[in-house]
Amino acid sequence: MPTPLSKAYPFSYQPLDLSSGKASQKSQPGYGDIHPCSLTDFKSLQTLSLKSLKVTGDVLECFIRNCPFLERLVLRQCSSLVNFEVCGPSLALKFLEICQCFTLKSITIRGTNLVSLKITEVDSVVLQNVPMLVEVSLSGWFRNSIRNVISGISCCLAKLEFLSLYASKLAISESQEEGILDYLPQPTNLKQFVLVACASKDDSLIGFTSFIRASPNLEKFVLKLQWRGNDIVREDRESKKALSFLLQHLRVVESLGYYGRRSELELVEYFLENAVVLEKIIVDPRDQTMVGRPKKLEEIKKEKLLKFMPRNSSRNSYLHILNL
């Protein structure tokens, strides 16, 4: 379960040997200045993982600049983080993950050797001169359209091998279908594309086939639909068709959170008609918001009891009692 921001633990600055003098004008009230020499004891640090901490971008940037072997940085549920920059080809950082940092407004990554990037809950992402970046996952409560999200990663789009996207405005009308990648580099190296969609409405997703057509080496496509309880809707409408285009490398299609709606069937039909080497279609009807959730003690006890119950009417009666 996510930790409430109000309960985030304040990051301790004492180990960083902060100066006891007056705080600089740029630092937050109560914070001292951070000197490069204060991180001497962290020179060999290769992985840094911070969870449920109140930490600022200045502190994180200080770690990155002064830890020459730091390759992996993971931030989860960190408050006080508003703007964050990762810049410079001399940095060793290769893997960056920032998840559920709800105060984060913008992140800029420029001139680095980053290989993998995963970010959730951020308004603005700016990537510039990141030639080694091949894996990007952008998800969360984006208020931008899918085109704006893709535009933010345009500089590395042609080299990406893995891309996972979530945006609030996922439906694309037929008139907009060809506009997703207008004036943007084509994702010619993309091997795997994961599309995460809020599935409360039965809006057509057929417009995303234009992105798939522009990915000639795509081998795996995953559609992950997130829905809650009675919010999901099936609409009675005619199926929409996308332009036919042979997908010569697509072998695996996964539909997670499948509910048998028109929007899902349209995509499945498209792949059946156009993926000439398709080997496998995986359909998972489970609520994806519950997948991976730790089981409650009552559920574990019920599963153990069911293993030893005979398959007859008494078993069904016992199940009814357990659910009372």
DSSP 177-208: GGGTTTTS---TT--EEEEEEE-SS----GGG
Better-predicted residue by pLDDT, 257 or 32? 257
Q: What is the pLDDT of residue 3?
A: 52
pLDDT of 184 > 50? The answer is: yes
- In the predicted model, is pLDDT for residue 41 greater than 60? yes
Q: Do residues 300 and 273 touch, judged by C-beta distance below 8 A?
A: no
* In contact, 150 and 183? CB cutoff 8 Å: no
The mean pLDDT value for 229-246 works out to 75
Which of 108-117, 120-129, 133-142 bottoms out in mean pLDDT, i.e. has the lowest? 133-142
Centre a 10 Å sphere on the Cβ of residue 252 and count the other Cβ atoms it contains: 15
Q: State the pLDDT at residue 34.
A: 38
Q: In which band, very low, low, confident or very high, does the pLDDT at 133 lie, cut at 50, 70 and 90?
A: very high
With bands split at pLDDT 50, 70 and 90, how would you rate the model's confidence at 24?
Answer: very low
* Nearest by Cα to 100 from 25, 198, 1, 190: 1
* Segment holding 164, helix H or strand E: strand 162-166
**What pLDDT was estimated at residue 143?**
52
Predicted pLDDT at 242: 79
185 versus 129: the higher-pLDDT residue is 129
Please tell me the pTM assigned to this model. 0.75
Q: Please, what is the Cα angle at 89 between 87 and 94, to 5 degrees? A: 80
The 10s digit of each residue's pLDDT in 138-168 is: 875 555 556 667 777 888 999 999 999 885 5
Residue 129's pLDDT is: 92
- Domains of the chain by start residue, with CATH: 1-133 (no CATH), 136-293 (3.80.10), 299-324 (no CATH)
Q: Quick one: pLDDT band at residue 53, thresholds 50, 70, 90?
A: confident
Q: Which amino acid is residue 279, in one-letter code?
A: E
Res. 197 pLDDT band, cuts 50 70 90: confident
Of 180, 137, 181, residue with least CA distance to 161: 137
What integer pLDDT is reported at residue 135 of this predicted model?
97
Query: What is the C-alpha radius of gyration for the chain, rounded to an integer number of angstroms?
Result: 24
Collect all residues with Cβ–Cβ distance below 8 Å to 148 and sequence separation of at least 6.
Answer: none
Nearest CA to 98 out of 111, 117, 83, 114 is that of 117
Burial class (CB in 10 A: 0-12, 13-18, 19+), 279: exposed
